[in-house]
Chains A and B, each alone.
Chain A
Amino acid sequence: DTGVSQDPRHKITKRGQNVTFRCDPISEHNRLYWYRQTLGQGPEFLTYFQNEAQLEKSRLLSDRFSAERPKGSFSTLEIQRTEQGDSAMYLCASSPETVYNEQFFGPGTRLTVL
């Protein structure tokens, strides 16, 4: 399968713990996006990478959130000192650098903070 993969698919953690999620984009896609989705809502944009450069972060991305994309390949999203409000589905997407960029989404990581 050459689609976008995310790991883990599910994560349960206690409030105050740190968690890290991984996203492997489709190879040769140099654009990578992170979104967050809560129940009953559409996904919300968090951040965007072009190759290894993080070009934009949403104001939703508090100081407890950090994302990296070393070497322009896979990406990680870390949440420090998790809060119950962080419980959501975290989605990763990738796209090629073309005039029109269809985004290919992964299956997401479901985070539950107890």
Chain B
Amino acid sequence: DAKTTQPNSMESNEEEPVHLPCNHSTISGTDYIHWYRQLPSQGPEYVIHGLTSNVNNRMASLAIAEDRKSSTLILHRATLRDAAVYYCILGTDSWGKLQFGAGTQVVVTP
């Protein structure tokens, strides 16, 4: 199964943008790139997903490299509520089994 590599942690000031990198050099042509996040004491929640093109939604933006070997999740204005572990996951199965790594712990400072 294709793997992802993320930094262990990142720190940001409140109301500043956060760029979370993810490397996935062994991605296959049919793999979706999913991002989920997990707030303290909660189950994970979906953030965004993409295949080849950049994507935007109300929570974040996803920038995908042209060769698809890396991607970046962008939180445009971090709030204290964005402090969470962010997981970058490749979708290797058509029915959507998620294989989480350790993720990136995002710390937001007031």
Contacts and interface: CB of A to CB of B under 8 A. Distances in A.
Interaction A to B: yes
A31 B43 contact: no
Interface residues of B, number: 20
Contacts, number: 55
A103 B98 contact: yes
Contacts of A43: 44, 98, 100
Interface residues on A, range: 20 to 34
Contacts of A95: 96
A91 B97 contact: no
Contacts of B41: 107
A35 to B, nearest CB: 8
Interface string A8-26: 0000000000000000000
A31 B98 contact: no
Nearest to B105: A40
B73 to A, nearest CB: 15
Contacts of A100: 32, 49, 96
Contact of B102 (A4, A35, A42): A42
Given A93-B43, A100-B32, A103-B46, A44 B100 contact: yes
Contacts of A50: 95
A95 B85 CA distance: 21
Nearest to A33: B97
- Dominant SS among interface residues on chain B: loop
Nearest to A102: B46
Contacts of A91: 43-44
A101 B87 contact: no
A91 to B, nearest CB: 5
Given A42-B102, A42-B103, A31 B44 contact: no
Interface string A95-114: 10000111111111000000
B5 to A, nearest CB: 13
A106 B43 contact: yes
Nearest to A107: B43
Interface of A: 4, 31, 33, 35, 40-45, 48, 50, 55-56, 91, 93, 95, 100-108
